[in-house]
Amino acid sequence: MHAPRELPDIAADVLARIRARRPRVHCITNAVAQNFSANVLLAAGAVPSMTIAADEIAEFVARADALLVNLGTLDPERRAAIELAVNAAGERVPWVLDPVLIDRSPPRCALAVALAARHPRAIRLNAAEFRGLAGAAPSAETLARYAAQGASVIGLTGDRDIVTDGGRSVTIRNGDPLMAKVTAMGCAASAIVAACHAVEPDAFSATAAGLILIGIAGEVAAARAHGPGTFAVEILDALHALDAATIARHARLEP
Amino acid sequence: MHAPRELPDIAADVLARIRARRPRVHCITNAVAQNFSANVLLAAGAVPSMTIAADEIAEFVARADALLVNLGTLDPERRAAIELAVNAAGERVPWVLDPVLIDRSPPRCALAVALAARHPRAIRLNAAEFRGLAGAAPSAETLARYAAQGASVIGLTGDRDIVTDGGRSVTIRNGDPLMAKVTAMGCAASAIVAACHAVEPDAFSATAAGLILIGIAGEVAAARAHGPGTFAVEILDALHALDAATIARHARLEP
Amino acid sequence: MHAPRELPDIAADVLARIRARRPRVHCITNAVAQNFSANVLLAAGAVPSMTIAADEIAEFVARADALLVNLGTLDPERRAAIELAVNAAGERVPWVLDPVLIDRSPPRCALAVALAARHPRAIRLNAAEFRGLAGAAPSAETLARYAAQGASVIGLTGDRDIVTDGGRSVTIRNGDPLMAKVTAMGCAASAIVAACHAVEPDAFSATAAGLILIGIAGEVAAARAHGPGTFAVEILDALHALDAATIARHARLEP
């Protein structure tokens, strides 16, 4: 079991592995998020691919190192792509679910529930989305129970982030309010989490590492930014330049 | 009737209401514009949503505070989404039409004419698009007549912007030539106009406020930018930081 | 035949013509690349259009000054749009093929082979994509032979770029490693190449000019950037400000 004080080292090590191995992360993500998510992955050292075409997605996913399934701007083509992609991922390709805005749309919520039952390595979501998925307000208990039942790590993001696999859990107090002022920041966080799963087999460590990395990059960026425009640019530079010393200095973790 | 000299105060007040109420603006907009429009809305204090899926758009629109219908990169799915969205908006949710490039495509123009007949609160367009929609070159007279007949406020943008509801009108001489060097700037202006309609029931004031806000943000951004790349970033920071004093100082309005 | 030392002047002249004539470049490109490609075209002085709707694309292409066909995130709608667009382009509208990631997907590769047989003025690709298309590793010989057989100029990009029409060839040693850290940079390069074809009838000169312009803009941007985020912003400013003196000073060409 990883005590929180080991996690900054783990996050730095996971980032080093991403840069060394350059894992390809296949993203089924919404149109608003595609460009920014791809740039976030590249800045961290990973390689994005994004096709959702039915005749090629299985091939793209089968050879990928991780898969992100994001339900934003859901359409018939993406629904079909998700089914093909999750099948192609099978047991070999770790995948992460981002159930965007399922609290706003019953059909989207039903799909998210069905996907969560297929054991994604991690589910990254906010409080309203957790309520939609689990039928309960998020608390240490409900999060841990849901994670244990589904055998997926839960990464709940908000003012503070909570990661739990049912047994272990950590609260991450990194990040900056400007992150909520840039569209697709949560989607990009999920993409980084997926990149971490590509190089780290322990799902709890991978999920926590991803949220620590994006949160600290956000803090570094906020110190240089003058608003949400410069912030969205600076977070890419910050991710690209992030090092172990910066991670150790900024990480604010609690059990 | 608002004299132009009241409009800067109205614009500042509308912006304050957007920041306080955080209205959700549902955007059916083209793929090129989605990310930038979402970031412009967030920078101004509003909340974007963007789905075009047939099985959920009615629900998203019915609970939204305003709707934007933008005809750029029109495709069958967006056509269907527009019909569902305008029906769901009904009388309750104010909606804004942006008839992008209808001068270039007869089927797109036909759709724009049909939509204009369904009484959007405002139509934001350029001179060529007005010609396509109204069959006449834009002038004080043709604009006012078209606005009065359709019961929609017209917001014509270009070197100078003209807003008219048939009775009242104002010419806005804000903005910067760099705005024409960033893709989707007009679409983003329409999104801001929609956000203003979410918090301001007077359609003339809401439309003028939106164009004043984006125009002044453009001027502030241009003073800090070194080209179209930095400009597109700085306009988000400028919108986020815009205050009543800056609006009062920069507004250049004529009856 | 243009010796490499004439090419910087030609590139500067082509850029001047783009700024003077403002050619419209219709882009069928992937969702990840649309916004950035449009901004790159605007920064260079061209005008982008991006619709892929079946009922209007022929009209958009027939009146365009150049066409870009990019195979990234291929889907049924884009497949249909490509067929309509290439037919509408006919002999009059020069078009450029960008066979993105065809090495990863057999159906995409088959489409690229069929399109290459329809004589695009130029094909912009990387080494893996050339292998997929031509069935051979890229070398001076295989590139020249493929270009001569297909009557298309080949623009191979990578650490160094090679442009050949079978008879003439040039190696371009401009650019910066950060270009590989921004998504859609290759797609944007292809868009710039298409803009050059809109104003320069000699396909070899147009293709070389496009790759010289984006490569030098990349170097200027890298000198001002602190990472991939600021780089993607600065390359737009650099393209917008690029002049003949900067091109002459930076061009690194070999026969």
Instruction: Label each residue of chain C as H, E or C.
Output: CCCHHHHHHHHHHHHHHHHHHCCEEEEECCCCCHHHHHHHHHHHCCEEECCCCCCCHHHHHHCCCEEEEECCCCCHHHHHHHHHHHHHHCCCCCEEEECCCHHHCHHHHHHHHHHHCCCCCEEEECHHHHHHHHCCCCCHHHHHHHHHHHCCEEEECCCCEEEECCCCEEEECCCCHHHHHCCCHHHHHHHHHHHHHHHCCCHHHHHHHHHHHHHHHHHHHHHHCCCHHHHHHHHHHHHHHCCHHHHHHHCCEEC
Cβ contacts of C43 on chain B, cutoff 8 Å: 181, 227-229
Confidence of residue A114 (pLDDT cuts 50, 70, 90): very high
Q: Which chain C residue has the Cα nearest residue A61?
A: C104
Render pLDDT for A72-95 as a digit per residue (tens, 0 to 9): 878 888 999 999 999 999 999 999
Q: Which chain A residue has the Cα nearest residue B56?
A: A105
Domain of residue C90, residue span: 4-254
- C106: which residues sit within 8 A by CB, 6+ positions away? A56, A59
In the Cβ-directed half-sphere of A237, how many Cα atoms lie within 13 Å?
22
pLDDT greater than 80 at residue A56: yes
The dihedral over CA atoms of C194, C195, C200, C203, expressed in degrees to the nearest 10, equals -10
Residue C135: count other Cβ atoms within 10 Å of its Cβ.
11
Query: C166's torsion region: left (phi>0), alpha (psi -120 to 50) or beta?
Result: left
Answer whether B47's CB lies under 8 Å from B41's CB. yes
What interface predicted TM-score (ipTM) does this complex get?
0.95
Whole-number pLDDT of residue A9: 97
Nearest to B155 by CA among B213, B76, B231: B213
The beta-carbon neighbor of B229 closest among C50, C77, C236 is C236
Cβ contacts of A38 on chain C, cutoff 8 Å: 32, 183-184
Query: Quick one: tokens of B121?
Result: 């609160």
pLDDT greater than 70 at residue A2: no
Q: What is the pTM of this model?
A: 0.97
CA distance linking residue A239 with residue A37, whole number of Å: 12
- B42: which residues sit within 8 A by CB, 6+ positions away? A180, A181, A182, A183, A228, B48
Cα distance from N-terminal residue to C-terminal residue, chain A: 12
Helix (H, G, I), strand (E, B) or coil at B134: helix
Q: Which chain C residue has the Cα nearest residue B180?
A: C42
pLDDT greater than 80 at residue A196: yes
Section A187-197 average pLDDT? 98
pLDDT greater than 60 at residue A1: no
Residue B55: count other Cβ atoms within 10 Å of its Cβ.
16
Whole-number pLDDT of residue C209: 98
Residue C10: count other Cβ atoms within 10 Å of its Cβ.
20
Q: Which of residues 120-179 of A touch B (CB under 8 A)?
A: none
Whole-number pLDDT of residue C2: 58
- C104 inside 8 A of chain A by CB: yes
Answer whether C142's CB lies under 8 Å from C131's CB. no
CA distance linking residue C83 with residue C61, whole number of Å: 12
- A216 inside 8 A of chain B by CB: no
Render pLDDT for A122-161 as a digit per residue (tens, 0 to 9): 999 999 999 999 999 999 999 999 999 999 999 999 999 9
B42 with A182: Cβ contact below 8 A: yes
The beta-carbon neighbor of A35 closest among C32, C105, C226 is C32
- B224 inside 8 A of chain C by CB: no
Nearest to C153 by CA among C207, C230, C213: C207
Give the CATH number, domain containing residue C149. 3.40.1190.20
Query: Do strands C169-172 and C161-164 pair parallel, antiparallel, or not at all (unpaired)?
Result: antiparallel
Which H helix or E strand runs over C44?
helix C34-44
Of A26 and C104, the structure prediction assigns the larger pLDDT to A26
CA distance linking residue C31 with residue C28, whole number of Å: 9
The residues pairing with A163 across neighbouring beta strands, listed in sequence order, are A155, A170
Cβ contacts of A183 on chain B, cutoff 8 Å: 35, 38-39, 42, 48
Residue with tokens 């069928």: C28
Of A23 and A255, the structure prediction assigns the larger pLDDT to A23
Helix, strand, coil: what percent of chain B each, to 5? 55, 15, 30
Helices A203-224/A185-199 angle, 10° precision? 140
Amino acid making up residue C132: G
Query: C28's torsion region: left (phi>0), alpha (psi -120 to 50) or beta?
Result: beta
Residue with tokens 């061009």: C251
Answer whether C181's CB lies under 8 Å from A42's CB. yes
CA distance linking residue B178 with residue C236, whole number of Å: 12
Q: What is the DSSP letter of B31?
A: T
For chain B, list residues with pLDDT below 70. Answer: 1-3
Q: How many residues does chain B have?
A: 255
Nearest to A124 by CA among A60, A196, A73: A196
Whole-number pLDDT of residue A104: 85
- B62 inside 8 A of chain A by CB: no
- B34 inside 8 A of chain A by CB: yes
Render pLDDT for A216-240 as a digit per residue (tens, 0 to 9): 999 999 999 999 999 999 999 999 9
Query: Do strands A66-70 and A24-28 pair parallel, antiparallel, or not at all (unpaired)?
Result: parallel
Determine what percent of chain C is predicted with pLDDT higher than 90: 90
The beta-carbon neighbor of A227 closest among B38, B55, B241 is B241
- C206 inside 8 A of chain A by CB: no
Render pLDDT for A170-181 as a digit per residue (tens, 0 to 9): 999 999 999 999
- C185 inside 8 A of chain A by CB: no
CA B55 to chain centroid, in Å, comes to 26
For chain C, list residues with pLDDT below 70. Answer: 1-3
- B63 inside 8 A of chain C by CB: no
Render pLDDT for A62-75 as a digit per residue (tens, 0 to 9): 999 999 999 987 88
Cβ contacts of C225 on chain A, cutoff 8 Å: 237
Domain count, chain B: 1
A36 with B38: Cβ contact below 8 A: no
Whole-number pLDDT of residue C77: 87
Whole-number pLDDT of residue A72: 86
